[in-house]
Chains A and B, each alone.
Chain A
Amino acid sequence: MSHSNLYLTAFSTIVIKEIDRFTRIWLQTIIPPAISMALYFLIFGNLIGTRIGQMQGFTYVQFIAPGLIMMSIINNSYANVVSSFFGAKFQRHIEEMLVAPIPNIIILAGYIVGGIARGLLVGIVVTIVALFFTKLDIHSFAITIGVVVLSCILFSLGGFINAVFARKFDDISIIPTFILTPLIYLGGVFYSIDLLPDFWQNASKLNPILYIVNAFRYGIIGISDINIVSAFLIIILFIIILFSVCLYLLNTGKGIRS
């Protein structure tokens, strides 16, 4: 058997296993974000949003919809990889892959595609939920799909790094709780940074999630606080950095080989 055939089969096995894992527990993985989104739209969109009025020419619910969808995508792609890889480490069945003739990059790619799959599926589900509350015309399909896929990759890589360093289950919730959630909430999901004083506008630009949310918002409703090209470049830069870190950790066996 050629190496490429072996790698392809191994890669597809990891991807299928990952998709099977999160679809088997759909009550924990797919339904909660849909319910959360429905509540966000109901409370912030319909109840409070009607009092806020227009935001950059759109209703408030239209303005926050891309950010809320992206929030679900980010959280779920991250959660998929961190929980799956840490679970495999904890139960030691990661050894099934480590003893097999699979290069580390294939293992990493398999987990990332698993994270992309869950991010996309949850993104589709919450978009359907959003359509019950507001009308969304896609401004640019290419930008929308591009930013979704890149965001899934980025946060899958983040989840992977978290899982490598995690030693107990508490450790896989520390980053999402204390870093990811604040960055998402302060990343322009609910407001335009134009509303902030200059200092906080500049401070916000240090938050990578601001670029993701704005790029996605541009793809859907055509408005952004950030230059789109800059946004894509920053996302890609972060992907390259995190991908290199992940590969380094796998190659040195951090947390998985003695």
Chain B
Amino acid sequence: MKALQITNLEKTYANGFHALKGIDLEVSQGDFFALLGPNGAGKSTTIGVITTLVRKTSGKVTVFDFDLDTKMVEAKSMIGIVPQEINFSQFESPLEIVLNQGGYYGIKRKQARERAKKYLTQLGLWEKRNDPSRTLSGGMKRRLMIARALIHEPQLLILDEPTAGVDVELRRSMWQFLRDINRKGTTILLTTHYLEEAESLCRNVAIIDRGQIIENSSIRSLLSKMHFETFILDVDRAIETLPLLEGFTLYKTEDDTVLEAVISKGQNLNELFTLLSEKGIRIISMRNKSNRLEELFVRLLDKNNREAI
């Protein structure tokens, strides 16, 4: 079953801006799906349409086969949303915010209290449950929005840049939390600017640019399209003149003890190490220049930009 099915979705805002140009997208039940794209590409508009905060111009959205237009209650009951911006009352406590959200989804107070305790505890907010929410740190506010989105235990959780501005440690713990709830059966649709996040968490990805989906596949098959990777090599001494290595491209960096090596698909890293060793250069450590998905993402967008021009 499809958790989310978007067919020929169009959105033109009142100012004439054509934000979505006939998007088709499918997210399978149980998937952890990334929707990626640069700023203004249409990610938030797409999520806005799914959550009904944005009125679509045309097209169809179904959530677990419930049409958002004709089976609004059933479709919306399936969705939990963690928005990009903080959007809860700064004067209410975390407990009130979560309980009220439960009420909006028809959850009785007694059951809502049990669930609020469960999710606020899991997200490390139970001790703060009665504090005014404006006194919470940025990371706590983000976690509160996740707890709020889960109070009705949705089948489809939509996270619009949930870890923006969150420190690394907290981001990792949020990733683990999201992996756990996905493992328990919740389908997750994630938008993020951290491509490392998408690569680490998601199985499938769609890339949207200028209101159109320009790539839609599994992360694995997307990464397999990479024709070359750039590695950073820390070497044991300063290199004044770059050695010529047959079949490999090396670049110097501002630091004489650091080289960049471009490795094409099918080339062997061992061969590079051997050639460097023959030139008397020992490699101390090695790392990717950038996240693999990020490299692909940038190339896809460049290609799309060139085609648009």
- Which of A's residues lie within 8 Å of B, judged by CB? 1, 3, 5-7, 9-10, 12-14, 16-17, 20, 24, 87-88, 91-93, 95-102, 253, 257-258
Contacts and interface: CB of A to CB of B under 8 A. Distances in A.
Interface stretch (B52-60, B210-218, B257-265): B52-60
Interface in B139-187: 148
Given A13-B100, A91-B90, A93-B89, A100 B105 contact: yes
Contacts of A3: 73
Given A99-B81, A101-B73, A258-B13, A91 B89 contact: yes
Contact of A101 (B77, B88, B97, B102): B77
A5 B108 CA distance: 10
10 contacts: A3-B73, A5-B106, A7-B106, A9-B103, A87-B89, A91-B88, A92-B86, A98-B51, A98-B52, A101-B72
* Interface SS majority for chain A: helix
B83 interface: yes
Contacts of A9: 103, 106-108
Contacts of B97: 96
A7 B83 CA distance: 24
B104 A13 contact: yes
B76 interface: yes
Contacts of B106: 1, 5-7, 9-10, 101
Contacts of B104: 10, 13-14, 96-97, 100, 102
B100 A98 contact: no
B270 interface: no
Contact of B105 (A6, A88, A92, A257): A6
A7 B208 CA distance: 36
A3 B108 CA distance: 14
Contacts of A253: 55
B53 A99 contact: yes
A84 B13 CA distance: 28
A100 B78 CA distance: 10
B48 interface: yes
5 shortest A-B CB distances, which residue pairs?
A: A13-B103, A6-B106, A100-B104, A101-B76, A92-B87
A13 B99 CA distance: 9
